[in-house]
Structure 1
Amino acid sequence: MLAKVLSFGLQGLEGYPVLVEADVYNGLPAYELVGLPDTAVKESKERVRSAIKNSGFEYPAKRITVNLAPADMKKEGPLYDLAIAVGLLAASDQVLPDFLKYMVIFGELSLNGDVRPVNGILPLVIEARKRGFNLMVVPYENAREASYINDVRILPVRNLRELSKILNKQEKPVFDSVSQWKAPEHQSPDIDFSMIKGQEKAKRAMEIAAAGGHNILLIGPPGSGKSMLAKSLPGILPDFTFEEALEVTKIHSIAGELRSQNQEIVCRRPFRSPHHTSSAAAVIGGGAKSRPGEISLAHRGVLYFDELPEFNRALLEALRQPLEDGIISISRANAKVSYPADFMFVASMNPCPCGNFGSEDAECRCSPGQIARYLSRISGPLLDRIDLHIEVDRVRYDDIRSKKAQESSAEVRTRVNEARRLQNERYREIRKFCNAQLSSGQIGKYCEVEPQAETLLKSAYEKLKLSARSYTRVVLVARTIADLERSKTVQAAHVAEAIQYRTLDRKYWGNSFHD
């Protein structure tokens, strides 16, 4: 007898339907699994056999053929175990097939018949809903994650026997209640802005970066507080919207991050800080199964590179395309997948190998050649994609000993949230979340620049020999500064401040590089 059970597979973030066809017929006992299964899918044979027997059912002592259609797409992972087991039980008349055509089944099986959670359940459920299905059978531990999707009935199951009783109408299904999104209360950050002494210009730049989603580079000697500034950034990042949270959760679900952190949905903006020895596949994404890398796990959050010149040059150059487009495409011989990678890029570095080049307090011991080689590890095109370049000098003794109360992260975050609210309203039609996401073609419509500011922009463009991309970044930073002051137009003062954050590349790298 032939039975059909529907499941879904993933290629990147995109899902596609997988029809599990189980045929049980007379002949010498054998088991054939076809449809381009990977090793994990092939091994389902023994998991399914043991699960069926240990759940009190009879494993068919006949010839069995299981086909995973479409046959020309690679099937990966153990998420088809439960669908295969149900298909075999239906084909051998041990469960009724009446409801199978209405439901989509996901789940890995243990040898005793328990249903284990799987990665990527959120994008799988979202894709199934798009295709018109609204009844999903999921592992019990995945139910809360899946229940954030509206217009879908989530049926969580703990084991194969529980599902078989529901299919045989011996028990009524108990659907999971819909989870309502509620923005979490903001936790006290590990490093509060009030802990940072001095560095007022750098803190102002961090506020602007957070308000507009801009990339930022911190340059300064060792011990000046660059890492502390970067690690204080999560405390002033704007609150998540539900749409952003779903986007991020889909990526973290595929990567298995939700299970490892015991989360149902990502509620706070990611802050990822890979070590400089990380491989390109770990940071950019890819590998044998084309998994998302750190840049995608940082989507809608922050990717922080400490000691930027220590990272592999090829890896740094690979950042150029996602920094520009907000997406990373990974092409392999058997597949091409794309992942979102719209993140704030935050980097810190010393100005030279000893760290004292340009310092007012310490003498640099490096030769001009050593400094040039060190700085040349950061290419001009990459610098061009970083909106704010900030020089961080050593903290003064008077600042360290000062009793003056410093502004807290909560106070800064209030202004950042208000600026983001203005941006969300302004860009609602084009589905943008912040100023940094605007393209050069959208600046004219959404960034109204006053005549005096326009004159200043023209002067800076010609004297500083800005590239077209640098010009765009200056305007967008000025727009963010205007938002922080609740100004409808970009004024000359906003442009003047934005230009200040684009001069360090001339001081350290000169004016000789081009895109």
Structure 2
Amino acid sequence: MVTKTYTVAFEGVTARQVEVQCTLAAGLPAFSVVGLPDKAVSEAKERVRATLETLAIALPSKKITINLSPADLPKEGSHFDLPIAIALLAAIGAIPPDTAEDIASLGELSLDGRIVEVSGALPAAMTAAEEGRTLLCAAASGPEAAWVGDCPVIAAKDVAAILRHFSGQAPIEPSRAGEVTQSAQHKCLRDVRGQERAKRALEIAAAGGHHLFLVGTPGSGKSMLAERLPGILPPMTPSEALETSMIHSVAGQIKEGGISRERPFQTPHHTASMAAIAGGGKGAKPGQMSLAHNGVLFLDELPEFPRNVLETLRQPIETGHIMVSRANAHVSYPCRFMLVAAANPCRCGYLTDPEQACARVPKCGQDYLGKVSGPLMDRFDMRLEVPPVGYQDLDLPATGDTSATIAERVAAVRAVQTVRYENQGTVRTNAECSGEILAQCATPDAEGRDLLHRFAEKMGLSARGYHRVLRVARTIADLDHSDCVRRPHIAEAVSYRLSLTREMS
């Protein structure tokens, strides 16, 4: 007789169903796991054996074979422990076989029978819901998995509790979804003295989801501005929160089952490797780009990042997803993020400071910013010079709008875009629209078109740059409550493309 139960194998954020089969055959006592398992899965038999001994359940003196089907799909991770134990318990009659077939499970077993939390409970619950099964997992994973409302989740602290549940002695109540994680107290933009133009650029970028590049002397406030961006971004919609949480679940970054609606803000150090930024390593795990999905990827000291790491950004910025290809894995992750970068104008940092003039003007700036390739630079919607702030300005009282006030304006513009693009597939913001959609919503009036054409001709604007100016102008028009993109909107959008032309020439 062959008993069956189910679990999942992860391919990126997708959890593929795996059928766990168990058979007991006559022959010398043996315990084998087949179906392309990795080392962690092969070792599961020892953890299962120790767990059953703790429960005073003796393994039958037969040849035990566990098959993980489909056999050509690589099986990685310790979460196969629990489904292997369930299949074996069903084979020896400790659990009704028909009950085992109605559940999908994942969890690592400790030697004393406790079920240890593993990553990926949320996508596993999604797959279980699609197949109409109950999910069985560790107690710590229950609140996370229960966010998928169509899937009953049984979260147990140990295997003994599972046996009591299925025997009817002590039924386990289905898990409830965890609490929505409360947002941390954000820093306020009003704390930034001066830099009114930079604050305006930050508001435009947040409203339209535009990529932003800040260049300025050391201490001018570039990082300070970027750190206040989360405080003006609107919360994620429920669908966006689920998309992002799926990635964080696979990466093991959801704590205590709580799901946050706050947009991710990832800030990798410039020494980060390509695998850390783009994804990779064992199992082709998601990188910083994917962890920033629906949020912000902030790269401080951009030219200090390795050139090959920076070049990996080019394709994901355009497509919104990244394919992590390794010798034993080809995994696609979503990574539709807002790229914000900061850099000094040159290596010494004072190329544009008249009081501390750089001794190697202009070559110092050309060499330093030249580390960022032209194609990558062209993908920034907005490029802004952040001038130094005088100490006199630092003594002035705080002025301007608070982050809360700006956040209200940003949220209102995002709501307009939601209505505008509700029937346009994956397009959600002005920064993502292109082609016919862009032509319909961002075509400027005659004066604006004339200004844009003259700028494009004079500055040698690429087709990509031309469209990015239109997208930024559309966002500026939305902030101005204008249905039409007019000349002033084009003029302001163009000003954010002029900023670094001199340094990059």
Question: TM-score w.r.t. structure 2 length?
Answer: 0.96
In the TM superposition, residue 277 of structure 1 has moved relative to its aligned partner by 0.8
- Residue aligning to 1:460: 455
- Residue aligning to 2:326: 332
Q: Aligned pair 1:117/2:121, yes or no? A: no
- Residue aligning to 1:506: 501
Q: Aligned pair 1:341/2:340, yes or no? A: no
Q: Aligned pair 1:294/2:288, yes or no? A: yes
- Residue aligning to 1:497: 492
User: Is the alpha carbon distance of 1:310 and 1:143 closer, same or farther for their aligned partners in structure 2, counting shifts above 3 Å?
Assistant: same
In the TM superposition, residue 367 of structure 1 has moved relative to its aligned partner by 5.0
CA deviation digits over 1:198-234, x for unaligned, max 9? 0000010011111111110111111111111111111
Q: Is residue 194–residue 408 contact of structure 1 (8 Å, CA) maintained in 2? A: yes
- Residue aligning to 2:205: 209
In the TM superposition, residue 371 of structure 1 has moved relative to its aligned partner by 3.0
Listed as ranges, the gaps of 5+ residues in structure 1 are 511-515
- Residue aligning to 1:102: 102
User: Is the alpha carbon distance of 1:492 and 1:134 closer, same or farther for their aligned partners in structure 2, counting shifts above 3 Å?
Assistant: farther
In the TM superposition, residue 39 of structure 1 has moved relative to its aligned partner by 1.1
Amino acid in the other structure paired with 1:318? T
In the TM superposition, residue 93 of structure 1 has moved relative to its aligned partner by 1.9
- Residue aligning to 2:227: 231
Spell out the pairing of 1:12-91 with structure 2 (5 A cutoff): 12-91=12-91
**Cα distance in 1 for residues equivalent to 2:279 and 2:203:** 29
CA deviation digits over 1:379-429, x for unaligned, max 9? 110010001101011102332111253321111111111111111111111
**Cα distance in 2 for residues equivalent to 1:208 and 1:86:** 54
Deviates more, 1:374-383 or 1:95-104: 95-104
**Cα distance in 2 for residues equivalent to 1:150 and 1:455:** 54
- Residue aligning to 2:185: 188
- Residue aligning to 1:274: 268
User: Is the alpha carbon distance of 1:48 and 1:122 closer, same or farther for their aligned partners in structure 2, counting shifts above 3 Å?
Assistant: same
**Cα distance in 1 for residues equivalent to 2:162 and 2:318:** 48
In the TM superposition, residue 263 of structure 1 has moved relative to its aligned partner by 4.9
Number of aligned pairs? 504
- Residue aligning to 2:165: 166
Deviates more, 1:108-117 or 1:170-179: 170-179
User: Is the alpha carbon distance of 1:382 and 1:112 closer, same or farther for their aligned partners in structure 2, counting shifts above 3 Å?
Assistant: same
- Residue aligning to 2:367: 373
In the TM superposition, residue 74 of structure 1 has moved relative to its aligned partner by 0.5
In the TM superposition, residue 448 of structure 1 has moved relative to its aligned partner by 4.2
Amino acid in the other structure paired with 2:211? N
Q: Is residue 279–residue 324 contact of structure 2 (8 Å, CA) maintained in 1? A: yes
Amino acid in the other structure paired with 2:101? K
Selected match of 1:403 from 376, 382, 397? 397
In the TM superposition, residue 151 of structure 1 has moved relative to its aligned partner by 1.8
User: Is the alpha carbon distance of 1:178 and 1:362 closer, same or farther for their aligned partners in structure 2, counting shifts above 3 Å?
Assistant: closer
Amino acid in the other structure paired with 1:422? V
Spell out the pairing of 1:300-449 with structure 2 (5 A cutoff): 300-430=294-424, 431-449=426-444
Q: Is residue 40–residue 78 contact of structure 2 (8 Å, CA) maintained in 1? A: yes
CA deviation digits over 1:262-287, x for unaligned, max 9? 45213311111111111100111011
Q: Aligned pair 1:476/2:480, yes or no? A: no
**Cα distance in 1 for residues equivalent to 2:441 and 2:118:** 43
Aligned partner of residue 497 in structure 2, secondary structure = coil
Q: Is residue 248–residue 266 contact of structure 1 (8 Å, CA) maintained in 2? A: no
**Cα distance in 1 for residues equivalent to 2:490 and 2:375:** 22
CA deviation digits over 1:3-52, x for unaligned, max 9? 11111111111221101111122221111111111111111111111111
In the TM superposition, residue 463 of structure 1 has moved relative to its aligned partner by 1.6
Amino acid in the other structure paired with 1:146? A
**Cα distance in 2 for residues equivalent to 1:427 and 1:112:** 54
Aligned partner of residue 137 in structure 1, secondary structure = strand
User: Is the alpha carbon distance of 1:186 and 1:418 closer, same or farther for their aligned partners in structure 2, counting shifts above 3 Å?
Assistant: farther
Aligned partner of residue 33 in structure 2, secondary structure = strand
CA deviation digits over 1:415-457, x for unaligned, max 9? 1111111111111112432111112342012324322222222
Aligned partner of residue 469 in structure 2, secondary structure = helix
**Cα distance in 1 for residues equivalent to 2:133 and 2:492:** 52
Listed as ranges, the gaps of 5+ residues in structure 2 are none
- Residue aligning to 1:513: none
Amino acid in the other structure paired with 1:416? V
Identity level (%): 42
Deviates more, 1:481-490 or 1:301-310: 481-490
Q: Aligned pair 1:4/2:4, yes or no? A: yes
In the TM superposition, residue 368 of structure 1 has moved relative to its aligned partner by 3.9
In the TM superposition, residue 83 of structure 1 has moved relative to its aligned partner by 0.8
Q: Is residue 351–residue 361 contact of structure 2 (8 Å, CA) maintained in 1? A: no
Question: TM-score w.r.t. structure 1 length?
Answer: 0.94
CA deviation digits over 1:298-339, x for unaligned, max 9? 111111111111110111111100111111101122221100
CA deviation digits over 1:356-387, x for unaligned, max 9? 11223321122544332212101110010001
Q: Is residue 442–residue 473 contact of structure 2 (8 Å, CA) maintained in 1? A: no
**Cα distance in 2 for residues equivalent to 1:84 and 1:123:** 20
User: Is the alpha carbon distance of 1:471 and 1:369 closer, same or farther for their aligned partners in structure 2, counting shifts above 3 Å?
Assistant: same
CA deviation digits over 1:43-90, x for unaligned, max 9? 111111111111232222321111101000100111111110111111
User: Is the alpha carbon distance of 1:31 and 1:186 closer, same or farther for their aligned partners in structure 2, counting shifts above 3 Å?
Assistant: closer
Q: Is residue 383–residue 505 contact of structure 1 (8 Å, CA) maintained in 2? A: no
Amino acid in the other structure paired with 2:48? V
- Residue aligning to 2:445: 450
**Cα distance in 2 for residues equivalent to 1:238 and 1:64:** 55
Deviates more, 1:323-332 or 1:369-378: 369-378
In the TM superposition, residue 194 of structure 1 has moved relative to its aligned partner by 1.1
- Residue aligning to 2:129: 129
Amino acid in the other structure paired with 1:364? C
Deviates more, 1:354-363 or 1:407-416: 354-363
- Residue aligning to 2:245: 249
Q: Is residue 128–residue 151 contact of structure 2 (8 Å, CA) maintained in 1? A: no
**Cα distance in 2 for residues equivalent to 1:454 and 1:202:** 26
**Cα distance in 1 for residues equivalent to 2:278 and 2:460:** 32
CA deviation digits over 1:132-164, x for unaligned, max 9? 324211211111111111222111112111212
**Cα distance in 2 for residues equivalent to 1:95 and 1:123:** 26
Deviates more, 1:21-30 or 1:241-250: 21-30
